[in-house]
Amino acid sequence: MSTTFQLDTATSRANPTPQPMRRLTVPKLRARKQDGVTAEPLVVLTAYTARQAQLLDEHCDLLLVGDSLGQVIYGLPSTVPVTLEMMANHAAAVVRGSYHAVVAVDMPFGSYEGSPQQAFESAAWLMKQSGAAAVKLEGGEVMAETVAFLVQRGIPVIGHVGLTPQAVNVLGGYGARGRTDAEADKIVGDAKALDKAGAFAIVVEGVVEPIAVAVTQAVACPTIGIGASAQCDGQVLVTEDMLGLFERVPRFVKRYENLAETISAAAGHYAKEVRERSFPGPEQTYGSE
């Protein structure tokens, strides 16, 4: 029996409520791809809070606590300033708010690149603090040794190739990757190295579609596309982008709602009623009896 957290309307606090469902596991997600075929694609969205996790959990196979929270939650210019403490706190909230999906957490820039031992210490701390089931790190062949080191010590790893946002200062921007033969060969080689090292899934981001397809066909583990191809073994989007909470969204994002307008309109309605003193009304105030 797993546990989810639902809002108690009397106290506005989260209280555990048992759910008749077992949480998915890393081996089950890895086993979705058999002999190069994934009959049921993996559904992945980002999540940063307990309430967000509650709303997304039943629809997703994996909830990714992405370092994109640096921009989405904290208003930072990139993911580079994100810290281990930020990731641990948000991942713990997502674990508390979910009961079905596997929860994976990004390892932030500077927490794993130095050595496999540094990566293990960071990943172990993240998992202990949050309860997450896996970590994700960026980088291809150069990180293969680190991935193998973590997997051999009981830490499931998601790889990440193509456009790697933590390397934005080296890449010079967020443009699509794989347009040249050399770059395309490197992306496929990076994915193969991560697969061989034991990654149970690989995010393929911002890669021209033929190369995303080539990567998916070249590795045994599932690929999770973002700005890649529908032929990947799964898809991930930043939830706030998908919900239309920002004015600008990348080309590869499909807006399924426009919540920015809804929220702004609701706040405007509230402000109007406060200013005209029509809120709070009798239904929202307490009498003497």
**Is residue 276 a known part of a binding site?**
no
> Which neighbouring-strand residues pair with 203?
160, 224
Amino acid found at 240 = E
Q: Residue 12 is which amino acid? A: S
- The two structure tokens encoding residue 47: 């999540």
Mention every residue, 6+ apart, whose C-beta is less than 8 A from residue 114. Answer: none
CB-based contact 139:113 (threshold 8 Å): yes
**Residue 67 marked in a binding site:** yes
**For residue 168, what are the contacts with CB-CB under 8 A and spacing of at least 6?**
78, 79, 80, 174
Return the bridge partners of 63, or none.
45, 103
264 is in an annotated binding site: no
CA-wise closest residue to 96 among 51, 128, 55: 51
Task: Give the type of residue at 19.
Answer: Q
- The residue written with tokens 């210490």 in the block is 121
272 is in an annotated binding site: no
Catalytic machinery residues = 205
Q: Are 51 and 97 in contact (CB under 8 A)?
A: yes
Q: Was 136 annotated as part of a binding site?
A: yes
CA–CA distance, 14 with 3 (Å, rounded to integer): 12
Using an 8 Å Cβ cutoff, are 63 and 237 in contact? no
Show binding-site residues for Mg(2+).
Answer: 67, 106, 138
Show binding-site residues.
Answer: 67-68, 106, 136, 138
Show binding-site residues for 3-methyl-2-oxobutanoate.
Answer: 67-68, 106, 136
